[in-house]
Chain A
Amino acid sequence: MTGIALTLRRLNKNKGPTQIFLHAPAMIGGPWLITFLTLGVISLLCESLFSFDTAFLYQTILFNNFSLSLPLCSPIFFIATRYVSDAIIQKKPDRIPGTLITSLFLLYLYMIPIALFVHLFKRETSYFLSYQAILNLLLLSTFWILFSFLNALFNYWLIIFSLLIGFFFNALSSVFLYFPFGTEGMLFGFNLGIGLLCSLVAAVILGMYPYRSNWPKGFTAYFKEYQTLALSGGLVFASFFIDKWILCFSTCGETTIFGLDPSRIYNSSMLMSTLSIIPIMTLSVMKCETLFFKSYLSYFRTFHEKTDYLTLEKKKEVLFERSLEIGRNFLILQGIFTALVLFISPILFEILNINFLQLGIFRFGTLGVFFNALILFTLIISFSFDFRRFLLGIPLAFFFSNLIFSYVSMKLGFPYYGSGYFFSSSLIFLLASVWVISLFKNLNYQVFIKNSLCRR
């Protein structure tokens, strides 16, 4: 009759009702920022420095590789992030090098065939360019996996910030390589830059965790346990690109506009518009970590401090208010900034010598990316609390609504390009806000029952 005693002992070992996840802003916000900063900067420079066709190949290869690598790496990216986070909480740092090697091994199993298929099948203008494109896709994929281990490092925000600057300068310098070396030179330079960044991150991780690389215990089981997370991770990033992919088909049904490919106009304009969100988004994501996570930790600490329910409710209220405060501040700051960008966009286009055909799309894009960033904010919050249905539901809804609205806008014609993305992101933002607020109101139920009991 030792059952009760055994149950008690098992409960004694319980750390709390759920596993907290501290690194959500960096893990979702980081890749998003790096991707759109790089693509945005490249688009902006190419549009203002060259004729429309000159650097198009380079832009296309990079766009394809970013838009493929991020969603395809996401399952391993999110599972590794979760595993590393748990290993740190459980004080098992010796698992980190093994997890890194295993993750990369799993990644290459499917990314190498994909890279070969995409770039050999497509046959770039030269073999050298094809090899560089394949290498680029693999390097980007490697980088995302390495990125998922940054939460294992102290002061990882400093490293992420350095990487952001690294990517910015890499994008900047690679564009200028066009003058002496052409498209091949640009891509080679970009690859060299990422290669260096990858080596740097790998060296920092392995230097900090100098353990033998053993098979990470239970790592593969995480794919089963967190399959929703893996799937939603892929969807989160795929949903950001789906409108651009859809518009790639625009030439199929339409003639070119003033001799230009509509999808090229669309992609360039959209990627340039994302730059409008980068400064405040960076600040907000970092702010989210400092402000939100203070209350977040305080809330979860109550489980270990064995407080009563009233205290728990109060902490929940503080956390809710703090989240609203961050959201509101972001909304106001970015709202003003977006309005300003919309207002001065003709002047900007004139100064930067950008084709005015892109102005309409740019404006829709600027508005769309504003709501997209707000969606990202709700995803970061729900990622922290492991609201799995939300994490799957919102990216799925965004993916399909972006797909449908973008398709409709494409069919409506050039003047409507970008409106699909804008409508989709604003609609999903509304849905995400209502949903996340209702989840927040029932946070204790979510944390105790849905995140804890249902998964035992």
Chain B
Amino acid sequence: MSDICLISEGGFPFQKGDVADWTEQLILKQNYTFSLLCLTYTSQPLKYVYPIPENVLEIKTFSLEHLPNRVGFLQKKGPLLSDLKNPLKNFFSEQYLEGFHEIALYFAKYRNKLGRKFLLESKEAWDLLIELYNAWDVKGSFVDFFWSFIVLCRSFYAIFFASFPKSKLYHALGAGYSGLMLARIKQEMNVPTLLTDHDLYGSNRKIEHEIANWFGYPDYFHTPIQKETKTLKDLWMHYFSNATKTAAHWADAIITMHKEKQNSPLFSHADRHKIHLISRGIDVKKFTGVVKDEKGAPTVAFVGVIQPIHDLKTFIRSISILKKQIPYLRGLIIGSLQEYPDYVEECKELVASLKLQDICIFLGDVPTDLFLSKIDLKIHTALREVPELEILRAGAAGIPIIATQTGAFREIICGHTGENPKLGEGGAIVPLSDPVSIADAASRLLTDPNLYTACSYAIKKRIETYYQIQRVEAAYHQLYETYLRNP
């Protein structure tokens, strides 16, 4: 039995990313034994992309797309599924806590008899779907409702079939399905549970759905909510916000990354005393020694997985504007090109149409650290809150940052309200999807050496002062100690 079981959706050790990096550091720096429960979206075996630390005792994966292929001969299917109807209805409403509790009890009682054929493919399951469709009075396409419901329910039901490693404490690294898994474990085992909300799950899903352009039918998707009427968007949003609230309710401690998150409505029902603030941190010493390469053209960089939510297109458009003021500009695009090939293709087409092929260079998934000495300015155009590690690394190397007003970026770039002494701005905060503002801010920083130096100093000093990895390690160690010693 391990001391701590970390629950995540994807991430460490199967998928590269900021949260995965953060998880690796957490495991390496703590003197506890760990087990990992990775919720995935594939039944295929996954390859490790990180070395497995010695203190990891067990790694379990569970596909959220998989339900047991059990026929499960059950008498009276109808009454059995009707027992699930009201809890499901409740979970999508304000009575989500009661709903989740009843569903957990239901699965605890019937788990061995239930399976995909009964829960999703039986005539009774279809009747339940139609009944809920009529009860919710969902407006819009039934086909999309059908797929939404099936996708949501399949992953939701899967949570109750997942087997998890035995551990003294369970720590979910996100509020979505990991959070629901945490809630289930808490109900079944009554062990200490921690929830780190790396990104506000509900709001992130919201933006993802907006970007998904909902099956090409955005009109009804955005239909104003009428009384007693739901759109598909509401269905999804209710689902994910209720998932987050459920996870928050059942967690013994909630850890957020910055102050703004603590006031999120998603945590409004959670006890205030169990919400903790632990910012992300980096090993600052690794980056403070970076010596600026003064040769070459002024270089701005975009770092992150190339995906719609990171809004690379706005970066490219801002380069197009900026190039008129700084002709010898260079734009580096660093990040994986594999995950969203269609979007990457669109971005490359945009680069070609704006005739920026000589300026914008797609480097792919290369270590950012190698390029820090060559980057003059980092631009972060994400539409939602994303982990800040890349920004912290760049800031520690003295690179000013232009970022959208999401997540903890304002705190990192401009300092939090209680900062003493005031260190000044380490770059600029710009509105979402605004290439003109980005180009203006970048032009000011790249053409005014005094401003650049001031920003470079401010951001470097702020990271050194507030975002040291040692602070994070100590804070988590203290939390773990508290809950392991006093379960």
The answer to whether B150 and A6 touch across the interface, beta carbons within 8 angstroms, is: no
A–B Cβ pairs within 8 angstroms, 27 of them: A1-B10, A1-B174, A3-B10, A3-B40, A3-B41, A4-B176, A4-B208, A5-B211, A5-B309, A7-B65, A7-B151, A8-B208, A9-B212, A11-B151, A12-B215, A12-B216, A14-B147, A306-B143, A306-B220, A308-B140, A309-B145, A444-B126, A448-B126, A448-B146, A449-B120, A449-B121, A453-B150
Give residues 7-25 of B contacting A (CB, 8 Å). 9-11, 19
Q: Does A450 contact B (CB under 8 A)?
A: yes
A16 CB–B CB distance under 8 Å: yes
Given A303-B143, A450-B121, A309:B133 Cβ within 8 A = yes
Is residue A454 contacting chain B, with contact meaning CB distance below 8 A?
yes
Q: Is the CB of A17 within 8 A of B123?
A: no
Q: Is the CB of A12 within 8 A of B64?
A: no
CB A41 to nearest CB in B, in angstroms, measures: 47
Q: Is A172 on the interface with B (CB-CB < 8 A)?
A: no
Most buried by A among B11, B65, B142, B215: B142
Q: What would 5 more interface pairs be, CB under 8 Å, given A3-B41, A7-B41?
A: A1-B9, A308-B142, A445-B123, A449-B125, A453-B121
Residue A90 lies at the interface, judged by CB distance under 8 Å to chain B: no
* A8 touching B209 in the complex, CB below 8 Å, given contacts A17-B143, A448-B126: yes
* A442 on interface, CB distance cutoff 8 Å: yes
| Known contacts A11-B215, A448-B126; A454 and B121 CB within 8 A of each other | yes
A312 in the interface (beta carbon within 8 A): yes
Q: How far is the CA of A6 from the CA of B64 in the complex (A)?
A: 13
Residues of the A chain whose Cβ atoms lie less than 8 Å from the Cβ of B217: 306
Q: Which residue of A lies closest to B342 (CB)?
A: A9
Q: Digitize B429-448: 1 where CB-to-A-CB distance is under 8 Å, 0 elsewhere.
A: 00000000000000000000
- Please, which residues of chain B bring their CB within 8 A of the CB of A125? none
Quick one: closest A residue to B146, CB to CB?
Answer: A448
- A binding-site residues for B, Cβ under 8 Å: 1-9, 11-12, 14, 16-17, 303, 306-309, 312, 442, 444-445, 448-450, 453-454
A312→B211 CA distance, assembly (Å): 28
Q: Any chain A CB within 8 A of the CB of B144?
A: yes
Instruction: Give min CB distance, A118 to chain B, whole Å.
Output: 43
Q: Write out the residue numbers on chain B whose beta carbons fall within 8 Å of the beta carbon of A309.
A: 130, 133-134, 142, 145
In the bound assembly, the distance between CA atoms of A3 and B147 in angstroms comes to 15
Residues of B within 8 A of A (CB): 9-11, 19, 40-41, 64-65, 120-121, 123, 125-126, 130, 133-134, 139-147, 150-151, 174, 176, 199, 201, 204-205, 208-209, 211-213, 215-217, 220, 307, 309, 339
Partner of A2, one of B130, B140, B142, B339: B339
CA distance A20 to B350 in the complex (A): 37
When chains A and B are docked, how far (Å) is the Cα of A2 from the Cα of B41? 9
CB-CB < 8 A to B145: which residues of A?
Answer: 309
Are A4 and B142 in contact, with the CB atoms below 8 A? Answer: no
Interface of A is mostly: helix
Contact partner, B10, options A2, A12, A448, Cβ 8 Å: A2
Q: Which residues of A contact B130 (CB under 8 A)?
A: 309
- B40 CB contacts on chain A under 8 angstroms: 3
Chain B residues contacting A306 (CB-CB under 8 Å) are: 140-141, 143-144, 215, 217, 220
Closest CB of chain A to B192's CB: distance in Å?
24
- Whole-angstrom distance between the Cβ of B335 and the nearest chain A Cβ: 13
Q: Judging by beta carbons under 8 Å apart, are A308 and B141 in contact? A: yes
Given A309-B130, A442-B123, A454-B121, also A1-B199 (CB < 8 A): yes
Q: A5–B212 contact, CB under 8 A?
A: yes
Given A11-B151, A445-B123, A449-B126, CB of A4 within 8 Å of CB of B215: no
Chain B min CB distance to A303 (Å): 5
- Chain A positions within 8 Å of B126 at CB level: 444-445, 448-449
Q: In the assembled complex, which residues on chain B have CB atoms less than 8 Å from the CB atom of A303?
A: 143
Assembly CA distance A56 to B466 (angstroms): 101
Q: How many angstroms between the C-alpha atoms of A7 and B151 in the bound complex?
A: 8
Residue of A5, A11, A453 contacting most chain B CB atoms (<10 Å): A5
A305 to chain B, nearest CB (A): 8
For the complex, give the distance between the alpha carbons of A312 and B64 in Å: 30
CB contacts (< 8 Å) of A5 on chain B: these are 208, 211-212, 307, 309
CB of B193 to closest CB in A, whole Å = 19
Q: Which of B11, B176, B208 has the most CB of A within 10 A?
A: B208
Q: Which of B9, B143, B146, B212 contacts A3 (CB 8 A)?
A: B9
* Residue in A16, A312, A445 whose Cβ sees the most chain B Cβ within 10 Å: A445
Taking CB atoms, residues of chain A closer than 8 Å to B209 are 8
**Could you tell me if A2 and B307 are in contact, using CB atoms closer than 8 angstroms?**
yes
Q: In whole Å, how far is A17's beta carbon from the nearest beta carbon of chain B?
A: 6
When C-beta atoms are compared, the residue in chain A nearest to B213 turns out to be: A12
User: Which residues of A lie under 8 Å from residue B201 when comparing CB positions?
Assistant: 1
> CA A16 – CA B220 in complex, angstroms?
18
- When distances are taken between beta carbons in the complex, the residues of chain B under 8 Å from A4 are 176, 205, 208
Determine how close the nearest CB of chain B comes to the CB of A139; give it in whole angstroms: 45
Q: Please give the distance in Å from B28's CB to the nearest CB on chain A.
A: 22
User: In the bound complex, how far is the Cα of B170 from the Cα of A316, in angstroms?
Assistant: 50
Given the complex of chains A and B, what is the CA–CA distance between A418 and B151 in angstroms?
Answer: 54
Which residue in chain A gives the minimum CB-CB distance to B8? A1
